[in-house]
């Protein structure tokens, strides 16, 4: 069963900041892998 995630505006902005940091510090490849990696609980 797939989970549904409802993002708040604050969470969305923070996620964008995380992506910006990863892109600047680690590059495009790492950032893409971070976004693609499935979350496990």
- Among 6, 8, 9, 26, which residue's Cα sits nearest to residue 18? 26
Q: DSSP string of 5-31?
A: ----HHHHHHHHHHHHHHHHHH-HHHH
What tokens were used for 29? 């490849």
- Asked if pLDDT for residue 41 goes beyond 80, the answer is no
- Among 10, 33, 36, which residue's Cα sits nearest to residue 23? 33
The model scores a pTM over 0.85: no
pLDDT-based confidence at residue 8 (cuts at 50, 70, 90): very high
Per the document, the length of the chain is 41
| Residues 16-36 pLDDT 10s | 999 999 999 999 999 999 888
């Amino acid at each position: 069963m797939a989970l549904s995630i409802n993002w708040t505006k604050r969470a969305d902005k923070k996620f964008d900041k995380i992506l910006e940091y990863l892109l600047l510090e680690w590059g495009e490849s790492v950032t893409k892998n971070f976004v693609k990696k499935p979350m496990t609980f």
